Every structure is written in C-alpha cells, then in structure tokens.
A and B are shown apart, each in its own frame.
Chain A
C-alpha cells in the first residue's frame, strides 16, 4: 500500500528543491552580473579563445606568458585537436629537423603536468568579490537543492514500494535529477560553473511543469507495468533524458559562443559580452559531444530493452506505436548527429543543429506524444 506521509514528504522535498534551485539560479545570475564589473585583465587563455591563436591549450598559454617566441612552435606541436576547431587554421611553424641547436625547446617538464589538458577554467566572477560570494552561494545551494531533489525522488519510490518512474510526473522529477547529477559531477570534476545558471534555470522550469501539469499522486502501477523491464527500460530512458538535456544546454551555448568567436575575430564583438566568460566553442562542442557519445548507446539500449519488454507484454518487439516511432526518430536523428560530426562540412554548427533537432524529437515524444497521442505508452494520465 501507499505510504501517504512519505509521499507527502516527497512532495515537500520537491517543492523545497525547486525553491533552493531558484535561489541557486539567482546566485548564479548575480555571479555573472557582478563578475562583469571587474577590472580583471583578459587572460592569455581568453585571448587565445577569442581567436588570436587556434589552440587554447594550457601549454600554449603558459609558454605564451614566458617565452612568446617559442609559443607558436609549441602551440603548433602541442595543440592537439586545434586543427579541428573553429578557431582558425594554425599554421604549423616548421621546426628544423636538425635538433642539435634546439635544446631549449625540450618540453620534458611538460610530461609532469597534471593530466588536465583542458584550457584554463573560464572565470565567471572576474575576480569581483561580490561575484565570488555569489558563486559560492550558488554552488552550495545547488548541492543542497540537488540533495533535496534526490530525497524527493527516493521518497516517492519508497512511498509506493517501487521504482520512482511509474508515470510522467515521476519520470520528469527523476530525469531532471539525472541532469542535475551530471551538472554537479561536471562542477566538481571540471569546474563547469558556467553551465550552472542554465541548468538550474531549466530544472526549475521543468520541475514547475512537473508539479503543475504532470502531477499525479503516488499510487500502484497498472498491470502492463508489472515487469522487471520497467526498472531497466525506463531507468535507461530517465538517464538519457538527463544526459540529453545537459548536452543540449551545452550545444545551445556552443552555438552562441561560436557566433561570438566569429564576431570577436572580425572585431565586432562587444568587449563586455558574457560570452567572453564561457569556455571556448571548441570545448563546449566537445562537452556536448562527449555526453551524447556516452548517452547514444544508452538510448539505443533503451529502445532495445523497450522492444524486449514489448515482446513480453504485447507479443511483438516492434509495432510502430507512436512512442516507439518517436523513440526511433530520436535515435535516427542522434545517429545522424554522430555521423554528421564526423563528416567534413557538417561538423560544428550544422552537426549541433542536428543534435538540437534530436532533443526536439525527444521532448516531443516526452510531452506531446505521451499526453496527446493515444498509444500503448499512454501512462501519463494527465487530467
């Protein structure tokens, strides 16, 4: 039976999480706003990201600070991946093959670097004290809200003695928790603070939608959902929903940033632009790609696990049910993204737009198909 008080507690936790996310969102915003008014000098890395040199690599940047003359050569040698970026074409400086006179060029010390190859973290707070405070508040409130969010999801499951993804409301709160988990993970491993304002904003909106439109009391499952595949198939779908969301945010940022970089190259970008403080387009693209390359096999697995379940429950592994069809369309579009990204002429902007279309299909399936189109997956029961 349903544990009503636990279910109520879950609702309070979700409301609490929303509220704290909102505080985090404002704190992130404050960090951006205060950070703008800093007297901080533009760092070498930012210069390079803005298009002066192709590679925003730490090796290049450090060298630029010390021995500018050698920097070019090192960038050319060490700027792995730079050639593929949008930053421009780094003309490799020809290093004479005769190595006798080039002993100063030893980059043995470089072998001891931390394995972190990424460009320096973008500085959102710009060294401004108020911005730094706001950033601290933002991060701590994000973590607090995330914990509340997780508690909310867990209590929902405990209240009904089952996995907490039995209807669209639960799917939404669980999926947004996954998105948040990815962000918090990135935050601590890669200092992805730049993503904070967008992720928290998005999650607040999604949770609001879940609570207002999709809400359903905790209850037992309809017979069609009595299956271990509910755990497997839907868990994979929940995971993908979070991952796709974060990848999409990174893709959108990438599109803005690459436009900014093009302008910066032409000299038409505004110097106070917020885009100066997000990582380079190349890095944003890479973040999106990595998340999608990681989640695409999971999405494939989601569809396959779904077909196995469909085979058990409905007698056919594929029946072109609307939800199945749209899962397939989403799959095809993301497959096209992965192919496009490896194809010259499509890489970059075009591939990113394909990724956005893929997310569009996913969201369409999520909200429009499961609520408005009648099919076998109609478990949303939105009244």
Chain B
C-alpha cells in the first residue's frame, strides 16, 4: 500500500487474524521431506490457525444438527423413541445407530471436533496472551514521519506564538485525559512528537472471552466425568433414599461411585397440581401450578426438615439437587389369586399417555398366580387411568375430561401366561400371553373399574380378581449432581464480559507532531490509526485536534 514503515505499523496494530503463512501457504508445494518434528509443527500451526478454527466452528454446528432432529438416548429424553425410530427405519436406523447418531453429543465424532476446537483455542490463546503481555509493557511506538498517510489526519499552522514544547505539553495532557498511554520524543529539526495508544482492554477482553470458552468446555468434561443425573419417581407417602439402585433412570459419569452417593432420605408428603378450570380460555386443563411438600433428612443429621418443592424451585440436600420436573398418577391395584389371597397390592406408577392426563401403565405379578389348570404362571395388568372418566371416543378410545382426578376410572386388560423377558418393571410383552376376556361384550376384552360401584373385576376361570382401590400421585424428581457449575458460571460471566470489552472497545493510536514553521509559527499535525474498523476514529482525532488549536482560528483558512 504505502511506505514499508507504515505497512508494518498498520500490520502490527491490526487485529485481523493473520493469514496462515506456514510453509505450505508460501506456495512451495514440493516441500523438502518433513521430519517428524516439522510435521508436528506444521500440523500445530494449521490447527491453531484462524481458518481451521473457523472450519471447526462450522463443523461443530453442523454436527450438532442431527442431535436436534433425531431422538436421542440421554438422561433427559425418552430413549424408547430412539429404539422406535430405529425399528421404523429398518435400513437407515441400524446404520445411524452404529455411527452414534442417537448419542450425538457423546459420539466419537462430535467429541473429536470439540476437542480439536479446544486445542485450537488454547494454541491460539497462549501465544496471543504472551504477545499482548509484551505489548502492554512496551510504550507506544514513535510517531511515524509522515502523518498525512494516516486514515484520519488534520494539520494547521499555529501562529499564536506557542512554543513547540508547550504545544506538545498540551497534546500530552489532552491525550492523557482521554486515557491514552503517551510517549514523547523530539525530531532533529527542532520539532517533537507525541505518540499515544489506548484500548488495550480490547485484546484483554478477546483473550478472556476465548479463555472462558475453554473454561466452559472444561466444565463439560468435569460434568461428564464427576457428575451424575437421574430420575426418581416418588409416590405420595413414599420415601426415597439416595442410593444408585433406587434411581429409575440414571446417567452416572465414569468417576462416580454409585454406592458412595451422598446419603439422604426424602419423603413425599403431598403432591398438588392445579389446572386451568376456565372453559373460556383456550387451554382448559393446562397445568397451572405444581407443588410437592417433602420431608427430608440429610445423612448424619437427626432433624427432619420440611420444604415445598416447585417447578423452578429445586431442593438441594448434601450437594445433590432435586428438581420437580413432572408428575403422574399411581392407581392402587390389588390382585387376588384363585384362593382369594392378595398377591399384589399397592400403587403402580402410570405415565401420561394422552390428553387430560390420560395415563397408562403395566403391572406384572410373578408369584402366587395359578392358571385354570393349577399351574403357576404370570399375570399382567395393562391399564389405562382416566382422571375423569369421559367415556369412549370413536377415534381416540377412552377419553379423560380433566387432568385432576375427581372421578377416576381404570380400564384394565389382563393377560396370563408368558409375559416375555422385558427388563423394565413398567413393561411386559403380552404377545405370547393369553388375553383374558373380562366382559360379556364380544368385541371387548377390557373392564372399566371405578371407585364408586365397580371396584373389582373377577377374572374368568376363577383365576382371581383385580381391584382398583384408589390412586396416589407421584412426583418425578430429576436428580443432579454437577461439580462443574461454579466453573461454568464464572466462565459464562467471562464470556459475556470479554465479548463486551472486545466488541465495545476500540484500539487506537493518535500521533501529534509539532514543527517550527518560520517565525513565531508552528505547524501542528494530528493523526490517528485504528485497529480493525473504527468509525469513531476521526471523531477521536478531531477531538484531540480541537483541544490543541488556539481558541478561534477561523481566519487562518
């Protein structure tokens, strides 16, 4: 562009990332054989270059997409959706599964992108921090000889009789007042200059921002290894003890000992849900408020404490936080065998499966059941719970009228025989079992029970009976222990703070040169140079200029 000195100057002031000028970028395609060390150095330079960082950023965002569109297997999502998806897409499904598309954020490819980005960031930050440290310690460079080439430049002749020294003093004072760092020097011809720089915090902000990103990534790693999360469903009146085995769903990091969890117990005293009752509003039956009254006791503490947990108001015991996330109904079911002996009695957790909290669930009874031939077998009760019995809909089957259970009904389908080998306690496989007909209706196997006049259904062939004794509500607590929270929060503050500094502060240099210009007159020049683009540079230089010129000099023109 211009003289070599200025070129150098502008270059050293520019924040624009340097283009990779590694051995390859020089254009020498036929490189001499690279030693292992050179190869490593080359790879390192490539990795820490801006271009590769940009590409990695893009790859990271691309790699995140499938995870948002395909069902994922994680502690926060329903893993059965992923299983179903794979079953529905017979050719694509297994392949995607093999390529870890259902655990995207733990996959090898996603992790490698973010680890590379991590390394690239660190490789970028360390040398830049060192450079900036040196730049901060160094005084601003001497003013260039030719200020007319600067992007902002003003000059005039001052005939008021001020001396060169006084003018430079004023310049220094004006610049210091504007928080510039100032150096001063003299020319051979009796003139002098002031060189000033400000905005060092811009680069500091930039470094803090990138360092904080590394902090967040480190937090993720800490969370993944030392953190754990899971779900527990607690019925009203039930007590939960913090043991790994009691979790209904869990995701423990590699560094967590499932037997050494912080001990505490928590009892759900009462769960209360409030729903929209106004039929005028479009969301009749929408949840309005959930509260769970709990009694808890930390390990080693003799006192029991009470607390009300709500959505957005978690409870923390011994460093473990419990969040009220969801809830459901547990119909209390009693199963009797042919002899009238109770073989099962208790609440069975059902899951929301339709509008107005229509819920469904399964109960599997392994012991004490005999079929009509007197052989021991299994009994399965597949039920649908309607908080408010709304009859049958031709399209949706049984309907519930409202989510709060003031007129509940339980529809049961009963199976006997081989219930398959399903690991979950909430499931069984009825395909090989016999579906018992519980009604006289030819097209219907199921019986509908309620709490008023039809609590029990007798099973055919004298197998026994199923009774609907009532219901309880359960609360679903998500349990989370995450030792990285503080680190991530501090990093988050660093990210925003760093960004504000690095995008809000401008790094500028302002130069003032004063030369004697004949008798009693001096020649004043003010110029500025900015890093990156800086629309207010001219304002700044102008401001300095106004501070330097004599009171009113319109006549000079």
Contact = CB atoms under 8 A, between A and B. Distances in A.
Interface of A: 2, 4, 76-84, 92, 95, 97, 99-100, 103, 105-111, 113, 115, 117, 216-217, 219-220, 222-224, 226-227, 229, 286, 289, 293-294, 296-297, 300-301, 304, 307-309, 311-322, 325-326, 328-329, 332-333, 335-336, 338-340, 342-346, 361, 369, 373, 376, 381, 383
Contacts of A361: 61
A300 B322 CA distance: 27
A224 B323 CA distance: 11
Interface stretch (B175-183, B459-467, B542-550): B542-550
B479 interface: yes
Contacts of B314: 312, 315
Interface stretch (B63-71, B298-306, B379-387): B63-71
A381 to B, nearest CB: 7
13 contacts: A77-B153, A80-B152, A80-B534, A106-B156, A111-B545, A111-B549, A226-B310, A226-B312, A286-B533, A304-B492, A316-B480, A332-B61, A340-B54
Contacts of A308: 489, 492
Contact of A117 (B313, B489, B535, B554): B535
Contact of B155 (A105, A223, A336): A105
B312 A80 contact: no
Contact of A335 (B50, B57, B151, B492): B57
Contacts, number: 215
B50 A343 contact: yes
Contact of B229 (A4, A315, A335, A339): A315
A223 B327 CA distance: 12
B323 A97 contact: no
Question: Size class of B's contact patch?
Answer: 35 or more
A82 B157 CA distance: 27
Contacts of B149: 76-77, 92, 95
Interface in B515-531: 515, 517-518, 523, 530
B136 to A, nearest CB: 21
Interface string B254-284: 0000000000000000000000100011110
Contacts of B500: 297
A80 B515 CA distance: 25
B53 interface: yes
Main secondary structure of the interface of B (DSSP, over half): mixed
Interface stretch (B125-133, B287-295, B389-397, B447-455): B287-295
B61 A329 contact: yes
A99 B276 CA distance: 82
B80 interface: no
A286 B500 CA distance: 18
A110 B542 CA distance: 8
B325 interface: yes
B538 A226 contact: no
B321 interface: yes
B425 to A, nearest CB: 24
A316 B517 contact: no
Given A106-B557, A286-B533, A315-B478, A217 B282 contact: yes
B156 A320 contact: no
A127 B27 CA distance: 55
Contacts of A300: 495-496, 499
Given A307-B492, A314-B323, 10 more contacts: A78-B152, A80-B537, A109-B557, A223-B289, A223-B310, A315-B480, A317-B485, A329-B64, A342-B532, A376-B76
B289 A226 contact: yes
A329 B60 CA distance: 8
Interface stretch (B11-19, B30-38, B341-349): B11-19
A293 B499 CA distance: 9
A81 B2 contact: no
A286 B281 CA distance: 47
B95 interface: no
Nearest to B532: A342
A328 B323 contact: no
Interface of B: 1-2, 15-17, 19, 50-51, 53-54, 57-58, 60-61, 64-65, 67-69, 72, 74, 76, 104-105, 145-146, 148-157, 220, 229, 276, 280-283, 286-290, 310-314, 321-323, 325, 478-480, 482, 485, 488-489, 492, 495-496, 499-500, 503, 515, 517-518, 523, 530, 532-535, 537-539, 542, 545-546, 549, 553-554, 556-557
B503 A314 contact: no
Contacts of B557: 106, 108-109
Contact of A312 (B65, B104, B157, B312): B312
A297 B499 contact: yes
B312 A227 contact: yes
A217 B154 CA distance: 62
Most central of A78, A289, A313 by chain B CB within 10 Å: A313
B375 to A, nearest CB: 45
Contact of A99 (B152, B489, B517): B517
Contacts of A109: 554, 557
Contact of B496 (A304, A315, A321): A304
Identify which of A80, A318, A320, A342 gathers the most chain B CB atoms within 10 Å of its CB: A80
Contacts of B495: 300, 304
B17 A342 contact: yes
A320 B71 CA distance: 11
B501 to A, nearest CB: 10
A99 B312 contact: no
A106 B157 contact: yes
* CB-based closest 8 A-B pairs: A315-B480, A80-B151, A315-B323, A108-B156, A325-B68, A322-B68, A332-B61, A329-B61
Contacts of A320: 64, 67-68, 72, 74, 76, 104-105
A82 B1 CA distance: 13
A314 B478 contact: yes
Contacts of B157: 103, 106
A77 B152 CA distance: 6
A97 B146 contact: yes
Given A106-B556, A329-B61, A297 B69 contact: no
Contact of A84 (B57, B154, B533, B556): B533
A223 B290 contact: yes
Contacts of B15: 342
Given A80-B537, A219-B281, A97 B499 contact: no
Contacts of A227: 312
Contact of A78 (B19, B153, B492, B549): B153
Contacts of B16: 342-344
Given A105-B155, A109-B554, A316-B482, A219 B282 contact: yes
A60 to B, nearest CB: 12
Nearest to A316: B480
Contacts of B321: 315
Contact of A311 (B61, B72, B485, B518): B485
